[in-house]
Structure 1
Amino acid sequence: MNPPRSNAICIYCGSSPGLLPEYAEAAVHVGRTLARRGITLVYGGAHVGLMGMMADAALEAGGRVIGVMPHLLIGKEVVHPGLTELHAVESMHQRKTLMADLSDGFIALPGGVGTLEEIFEVYTWTQIGFHTKPCAFLNVADFYSPLFRFLEHAVAQRFVREEHHRMLVMEESIEDILDRFANEEPVIADKWMDIKSEER
Structure 2
Amino acid sequence: MKKIGIAVLLFICGGLLTYAEVKHINEQEISYTTDVVALKHDLTEGVVIKEQDLQMVSIPNEILSNNYVQDKDEVIGNTLAIALTELTLINKDVLLEKTYFIPSSGNALTSLRLTPEEMLCWEIEVGELVHVVHVSTDGVLTKLGQVSIKGIYDETLSRNFSKKSNVPTFLLIEGNLNVIESIIASRGDGRLEVIKIANK
Q: TM-score scaled to structure 1, two decimals?
A: 0.24
Of Structure 1 and Structure 2, the greater strand share is in 2
Of Structure 1 and Structure 2, the greater helix share is in 1
Q: TM-score scaled to structure 2, two decimals?
A: 0.24
Higher relative contact order (CA 8 A, sep 6+): 1
Larger Rg: 2
